[in-house]
Structure 1
Amino acid sequence: MTNSKDLAREIVEGTGTEVEKGRGPSQASQITALARERYELFMSEDGRPYGVKVDGANIALPLRGKAGLRSQLARIYTDAHDGSVPAQSALTDAMVVLEGVAQAADPRQPHVRVARGDGVLVVDLGDADGQCIVIGPDGWRREQRSPVLFRRSGAMKPLPLPLRDGDGLAKLRALLNTDEDGFRLLVAWLVAAFIPDLPHPVLTFRGEQGTGKSYSAKMVIGLVDPSGAPKRTAPRDIKSWATQAFNSWALCLDNVSIIPDWLSDALCRAVTGDGIVDRALYTDDDVVVLEFRRVLAMTTIDAGALAGDLAERLLTIELHTIPDRARREEAELDAAYSDAHAGILASLFDLLADVLRVLPDVQLTERPRMADFARVLAAVDKVKGWDTLESYKATARDAVADVLDGEPFAQAVVALVDRAGPGGIVLTASELLERVPAPDRLPKKWPKDPTRAGGQLKRLAPALRTIGIDVDDSKRGPKPKKQRLYHLTASADRRCETASPASPYDPETDSDQQEEGGRYRGDASGPPATRGDAGNARGDAALFVASPQDTGPDQHGYSRGDAGDAGDAEMHPLSVPAPRTHRTPGQDAEDAPQDARPTTPCARCSRAQWNAEGSPLCLDCRTAA
C-alpha cells in the first residue's frame, strides 16, 4: 500500500494511478512535460495564454481552443509514441496545467502582421518558417527569425518574398483605373499601413457599378495582409465584428450602402484603437478582452449614407468607369497581380524606408484630423515630390460635405447660417428647432426636442467646421435660465463661395452691401422688387437697351453700388438708387433716417434690422417679446 505522501506525489505528477500497478506517467503528465521543455509559456497583456517555441519561429501559439499549441502537442506526442494518439481528456488536463504555468510568467504582447521593433518596423511574411522583413531608415532586409513576437490566425495568408523587379509602383498603377492624384494617395496609404502605431483613415473606394471597386480593394488588402476572405460583408453584431478585427491586421467591408450607428462607432474606434470585453466561455464572471487597432477599407457607391464622425476618418479614392472595350477578365487580372505582387511590395518597402529616414524632420504647420497619418503623407511628399497631403485634405472635405448633404437637419442648419450674414446667428437649441423649417414627414435623425437638437448640433460641429461653419456653444444666456447659446458663423471664404454670382460681394470692403439670403442688405426695409440696383441688375439689362449707338470707352466702367454687373455699362437701369445717408456725429439712432441706422443681425430672427444700442434683438422681436 502507498502512504498518503506518495499518493499526493502521484496526483501532482498527473499519474492518477497507483505505483504498484506498474504504470508509468499518464498522458496528461507527459504532454505537460513536453510543452514545458519545448515551449516558453506566458500570458498576453489582454489575459490570453500563449506558448512560443524555444528554438523555432517567434510565433505565439494560443493555448485555448483546439488549434494552436494543443494540436502541436498532440502531434509531438504521437510522433514520440509510435503513432499512439493522446486522449482528448489528457490534452484538456494538460492545457489547464500549462495555463497555470503561463500565468506565473511575465506578460508579453504578440502582434499581428506588423510591429515596431528596436527602431525598425517588422512585417511577418506569414510562412511556416516564421520569416520576416525588417525595414529601417537605411533600407529593408529579410530575416529568418523575427525580432518581435507575432501571432497568427486562420484568416491570414502568407505574403510573397519581396523582389526588386523593375518599378513596382508602375505595375500597381497599371492595375488601377483611378486618376494620378488618387493613385498617389493610395500609395501613401499603403506605406502608412505598414506603420502600426498610428491611426489610419478608412480607405474608401467609391464609384459606379462596374468601376472595379471590389477587385481594387482585394488587391490592396492582399498587399498589406493577405487573407482567404479579403472582402467581407458587414458584421451582424459587435461580437462578430470584434472577432474579425482581432484576427486580421487589414480587412475590407465590401459594397457598403448603409452602416448602422453601432458599426459606424465601432469602425471609428478600430481606427484609433479599441477593446471589446466579453464573457469567457463556460464561465459566469470571467471575461476576455479583444484589443486592436486596424487598417480598414471599404467599397461604396454613395458615401453620403455614412455617419459624420466616420466620414472624417475616410480617405476616398474615386474609380473611373471602365469602358467595355478596356475591361479585362478576372483571371487575367489575377495573373497580372500575382506576377507583380513581389515587385510592388519591394517598391513599397523602398519608399517606406525613405519615409522613415525623413519622418523625424517633418513638422506640420497645421495639424488636421488624423494628424499622425497626415505627417506620413507629408514625408511621402518630401520624398516623391507629390502633393498627397493637400489631396487628402480635399477628399476629407468632400466626404464630410457628402455626409451633410444626406442629413436634412444639417442642410437646414447650413441654410440658416448662410442667410445670417457675416455676424452669424446666436440662439438657443429651442430657438434653433423653431427656426429651421421641418419637413412634413420628419426624417429618422431629425431631432424631436431641444435637447436632441443641441446634441445633434454638437455632433455635427466638426463636419460643419470642415465646410466653413463654426459652432461655438461656450456662452450662456441671461439669468435665471442661463440657457446655452449657440453662435453659428460662416467663414469669409464660405460667404464668398455662397454669394450670388450676379451680385459681387466682398466681405471685407462692402460694408453697405452685406448679403442676406442671396440678396444684399443695402436697403433691407424694402421688398425685393424695390431694393434698387444693389440686387441683380442683369435682368434689367436684358430688357432695356441704353441706346442704339455705340457707347464710348468711358461708359464701360461701372460701380458696384450702382449696378452690380458690368452689363449696366451698356443698358439703362430700371431706377436710379437714392444716395445712402449716414448718421452724423452726435445724432441719436432713433432720430436718424431709417436707412442711416446701423443694421446688425438680430440675435433671434437674424434679419438685418435696426437694433437699439446694447440690445441684441431687433425692434420687431423686442415688440413680440
Structure 2
Amino acid sequence: MEKELNSLETREDIESEKQAAQELIDSRNETIRKRNEEISKEEQDDSESIDEDIEELFLDSDGVAYATIRINNHTENWPIRSRQFNNYVVKQIYENLGKPPTKERVNSLISIFSAKAMYDGIREEVYLRSARIDNVIYIDIVDDKWSCIRIDKDSINLINNPPVKFRRYNHMKPLIFDLDADIKDIDLLWKYIPVKEESDKIILRPHISLLLISDIPYAIWIIYGDQGSGKSMAKKLIRLCVDPSSLKILSFPKDRIELVQQVSHHYLAFYDNVTNLSKTYSDFFCRVVTGEGFTKRELFSDDDDIIYNYLRRVGFNGINLAGQEPDFLDRSVITHLKRIKKEHRRTERQIYSDFEKDRPKITGAIFKIIQKTLGIVDEVESEIKFLPRMADYAIWCESASRILGEKPKVYLNKYFNKIESLNKEAIEANPIALCILDLINDCNEWTGTPSQLLDELGQRAFTLNVNIKQPMWPKAPNKLTQRINEIKTNLEDEDIEVDTSHDGKKRVITIRKGTVSTVSSLEKAQEVEISGGEGLKTANDNFHNAKKEIDMPLNELTVLTASNDKKDSIVRKEFPIVKHRKNTIANDINNSFLNDGKGDYN
C-alpha cells in the first residue's frame, strides 16, 4: 500500500513539473509574440516614416532595385542594396527611435523595399553622367543638389530635378563650366596637349567635344609616344573637362571581373601605360564602346548574375599602340605625340594652375558644340552616302567639324585617311597578313589546303624573320582559317581576296589579287568637295568620269579631273597603279584635285 502511494506522488510531481514547464514556455512565447508584434509595428512605423520621403521604388533596365528619395528640395537615386541607401535607412530610423537600429532591423527594411521595387515598381533607365532622350542631352554636373545641364538644339540650361534618373559613384566630381564660353574656346586645349599637326586637330576637336553624346558607339582614343610626350596629362585634362573624377586616370586591373566593374563605374575610362592588349581584352573593349553587356555571379552560393550593360568612352596611353588586333584598331582613333622639348616643359602644378583658369571655358565650349551639332546632325546624315564601320560616330564628328568651321567632308576625308593608316598598322602587326602579302607578291593566285598554306606561310615567315612561336601564329591548320578570317577585311583593303570552299573531300583556300577596287576608292573621293572660280566641280563629277574608263588595262588608269581655269577644261592625267594598294587611285585623284584644280581642301 505504501509503495502504491509513493508511486502516485511521483506521478503527481512529474505532472506538476510538466505543467510548470509548459506555463514557463507559454509565458516566454507570449513575451516573444508581443515583442514581435512591437517590432513588426516599429518596422511598419519605420517603413511608413521612410516611405514618406521615398518618391519611387523601381528596377533599372538590368533588374537592379532602386529608390528615388527626396532630400531637402531635390531627389537622389540610389540602388536599394547600396551603402548610401543603407545609411539613409539608418538615419531615418535613428531619427524616429532616438537610438541606433540593429543591423537585423535595417536589413529587414531594405529587403522590404527591395521586394516592393521588384513586384510593384516599373523598369526605368538609369544613366551615368550623360543621357540623350528625344534628342535632348542631360548631363549630371554632380553637385549636391543633383542638378543637370539640359541641352537641345536651341538652348543650354541648368535645371533642378531633371526628368532622367542618374546614379553616382563616390569617385565622381563636379563639372566646372562657363555657359558664356565660345565654341572656339575648345582650342584652349592645345595650350596643354602638344598636338601639332592640324590634321590631328581636325580629328580630335569633334572627338573630344562629343564625348558626352552617350548613346552612340564611340571610337577608342589611343595616344602613343615616347616618355615625356604628355600622354597621361592629355587624358587627365580631358577627363577634368568631361567626366571629373578623384581617379584622374585608371590603372589596368589584373582581374577581368574587376575590370568589368571598373568600366561600369566610369563614364570615361582612360587607362595609362597600356601596350599589347591580348585578343581577349581587345574584344572586351570593342564590346564596351559598342554597348554590349557582361555578367558576373552575385554570390558563389547562388545562380544569380549581376548584369553590366553599358556604353562607355574608352582611351589608352602607352609608348606603343595599346592593341594590334584588326577589330580593335578598326574602332580606334590614334594620336602620336612627340617628346616635349626641355625648354617647353612645365611642372604639373603649373599646368593644373593654368588649366583651372581655362577649364570652365573649355567645358562650356563642349556644351555649345553639342548644342549646335544637335541642330544639323540629321541633315548631315542624309547627305553622306559612304560611311566607315563606326558610322554613327563618323556622322556626329563630321557634323561637329562643320560647326567648328571645317568645310563639308573635310573631316570625313581625314578620318578615312586615318582608317587607311590603321589598316597598314594592322597588316604590319599581324604575322599571317605579312606572310600572305609576301606570298601574293610572287603570284597572282594561290590555291591549296589549310595545311599546305600553313607550310607555305611558315617558309615565308622564316625568310621574313617572323617569329612563328608567338601566340598570334596558328599552331594547326584549323586555326589558320580562323586567323585569316580575323584579317580578311584588312587584306581586302590591300586588294587581296581570300575564299574558303570545300571540294567534297577537303577544305580549299584560294588567295588572289583582286581586281583593283577603283569604284570603292573613288567613292571616298566622291565625298570631297572641291571649289574654285568658274571651274567649280565636285569630286562627284570626276567619280563618274573615272568610272567610264575603269575598263581600260589595269597597269594604268586615265582619270578625268577638274581644273580651275576659266574655260572649265578637263585635264587628262595618267596614274600608275601601285601593287596591292587600292587606295592609291583615290589618293592620286585627291592630289590631282589639290594640285591641278587648285581646290580649296583645307
With the length of structure 1 as denominator, give the TM-score of the two structures.
0.72
Pick from 322, 325, 347: which aligns with 2:340? 322
**Matched residues in 1 for 2:282 and 2:31: separation?**
54
Partner of 2:434: 411
For residue 313 of structure 1, report the CA deviation from its aligned partner: 1.0
Instruction: State whether residues 305 and 403 of structure 1, in contact with CA within 8 Å, keep that contact through their aligned partners in structure 2.
Output: no
Q: Helix, strand or coil for the counterpart of 1:276?
A: strand
Pick from 484, 509, 521: which aligns with 1:485? 509
Give deviations 1:173-210, integer Å, cap 9, x for gaps: 21111022222322211233111111001111121111
Pick from 62, 69, 79: which aligns with 1:46? 62
Partner of 2:194: 177
Instruction: State whether residues 46 and 96 of structure 2, in contact with CA within 8 Å, keep that contact through their aligned partners in structure 1.
Output: no
Partner of 2:314: 296
Q: 1:438 to 1:351 in 2, by over 3 A?
A: same
**Matched residues in 2 for 1:16 and 1:366: separation?**
79
CA RMSD of aligned residues (A): 3.0
Pick from 431, 451, 461: which aligns with 1:438? 461
**Matched residues in 2 for 1:16 and 1:172: separation?**
72
Pick from 97, 101, 119: which aligns with 2:116? 101
Q: 1:139 to 1:429 in 2, by over 3 A?
A: farther
**Matched residues in 2 for 1:392 and 1:442: separation?**
34
**Matched residues in 2 for 1:169 and 1:404: separation?**
35
Instruction: State whether residues 316 and 322 of structure 2, in contact with CA within 8 Å, keep that contact through their aligned partners in structure 1.
Output: no
Residue type matched to 1:122 in 2? Y
Instruction: State whether residues 140 and 148 of structure 2, in contact with CA within 8 Å, keep that contact through their aligned partners in structure 1.
Output: yes
Partner of 2:270: 252
Q: Helix, strand or coil for the counterpart of 1:303?
A: coil
**Matched residues in 1 for 2:237 and 2:47: separation?**
43
Q: Helix, strand or coil for the counterpart of 1:141?
A: strand
1:90 aligns with 2:105: yes
After TM superposition, list the pairs within 5 Å mapping 1:486-525 onto structure 2.
Answer: 486-490=510-514, 492=516
For residue 23 of structure 1, report the CA deviation from its aligned partner: 5.1
After TM superposition, list the pairs within 5 Å mapping 1:545-564 onto structure 2.
Answer: none
Residue type matched to 1:469 in 2? D
**Matched residues in 1 for 2:132 and 2:426: separation?**
36
**Matched residues in 1 for 2:498 and 2:210: separation?**
34
Partner of 1:199: 217
Pick from 458, 478, 493: which aligns with 1:451? 478
Q: 1:212 to 1:297 in 2, by over 3 A?
A: same
Instruction: State whether residues 131 and 139 of structure 2, in contact with CA within 8 Å, keep that contact through their aligned partners in structure 1.
Output: yes
**Matched residues in 2 for 1:425 and 1:99: separation?**
64
Partner of 2:393: 373
Q: 1:220 to 1:16 in 2, by over 3 A?
A: farther
1:476 aligns with 2:525: no
Q: 1:483 to 1:458 in 2, by over 3 A?
A: same
Partner of 1:523: none
**Matched residues in 1 for 2:40 and 2:112: separation?**
15
Instruction: State whether residues 495 and 514 of structure 2, in contact with CA within 8 Å, keep that contact through their aligned partners in structure 1.
Output: yes
Partner of 1:63: 80
For residue 16 of structure 1, report the CA deviation from its aligned partner: 9.8
Residue type matched to 2:188 in 1? K
After TM superposition, list the pairs within 5 Å mapping 1:167-316 onto structure 2.
Answer: 167-179=184-196, 180-281=198-299, 283-303=301-321, 305-316=323-334
Q: Helix, strand or coil for the counterpart of 2:272?
A: strand
Instruction: State whether residues 304 and 402 of structure 1, in contact with CA within 8 Å, keep that contact through their aligned partners in structure 2.
Output: no
Give deviations 1:82-115, integer Å, cap 9, x for gaps: 4x22222211111111111111211112111111
With the length of structure 2 as denominator, give the TM-score of the two structures.
0.74
Q: 1:101 to 1:21 in 2, by over 3 A?
A: closer
After TM superposition, list the pairs within 5 Å mapping 1:112-127 onto structure 2.
Answer: 112-127=128-143
Q: Which moved more, 1:35-44 or 1:73-82?
A: 73-82
**Matched residues in 2 for 1:299 and 1:21: separation?**
60
1:128 aligns with 2:144: yes
Partner of 1:464: 491
After TM superposition, list the pairs within 5 Å mapping 1:524-603 onto structure 2.
Answer: none
Instruction: State whether residues 427 and 487 of structure 1, in contact with CA within 8 Å, keep that contact through their aligned partners in structure 2.
Output: no
**Matched residues in 2 for 1:349 and 1:242: separation?**
29
Residue type matched to 2:501 in 1? R
**Matched residues in 2 for 1:16 and 1:356: separation?**
68
Q: 1:323 to 1:16 in 2, by over 3 A?
A: farther
The percent of aligned pairs where both chains have the same amino acid is 22
Instruction: State whether residues 304 and 403 of structure 1, in contact with CA within 8 Å, keep that contact through their aligned partners in structure 2.
Output: no
Q: 1:155 to 1:304 in 2, by over 3 A?
A: closer
**Matched residues in 1 for 2:374 and 2:274: separation?**
34
Q: 1:327 to 1:477 in 2, by over 3 A?
A: same
Instruction: State whether residues 58 and 146 of structure 1, in contact with CA within 8 Å, keep that contact through their aligned partners in structure 2.
Output: no
Partner of 1:160: 176
Q: 1:351 to 1:87 in 2, by over 3 A?
A: same
Residue type matched to 1:452 in 2? K
Q: Structure 1 stretches of 5 or more lacking a match?
A: 1-10, 495-505, 515-559, 565-625
Instruction: State whether residues 155 and 229 of structure 1, in contact with CA within 8 Å, keep that contact through their aligned partners in structure 2.
Output: yes
Q: Which moved more, 1:123-132 or 1:110-119?
A: 110-119
1:351 aligns with 2:369: yes
Partner of 1:503: none
Residue type matched to 2:404 in 1? K
Bigger helix fraction: 2
Q: Which moved more, 1:171-180 or 1:453-462?
A: 171-180
Q: Helix, strand or coil for the counterpart of 2:487?
A: helix
**Matched residues in 2 for 1:342 and 1:16: separation?**
65
Q: 1:220 to 1:123 in 2, by over 3 A?
A: same
**Matched residues in 2 for 1:142 and 1:42: separation?**
26
Partner of 1:391: 414
**Matched residues in 1 for 2:323 and 2:550: separation?**
34
Residue type matched to 1:94 in 2? L
Residue type matched to 1:95 in 2? I
Q: 1:326 to 1:250 in 2, by over 3 A?
A: same
Q: 1:181 to 1:403 in 2, by over 3 A?
A: same
Q: Structure 2 stretches of 5 or more lacking a match?
A: 1-28, 519-548, 557-573, 577-602
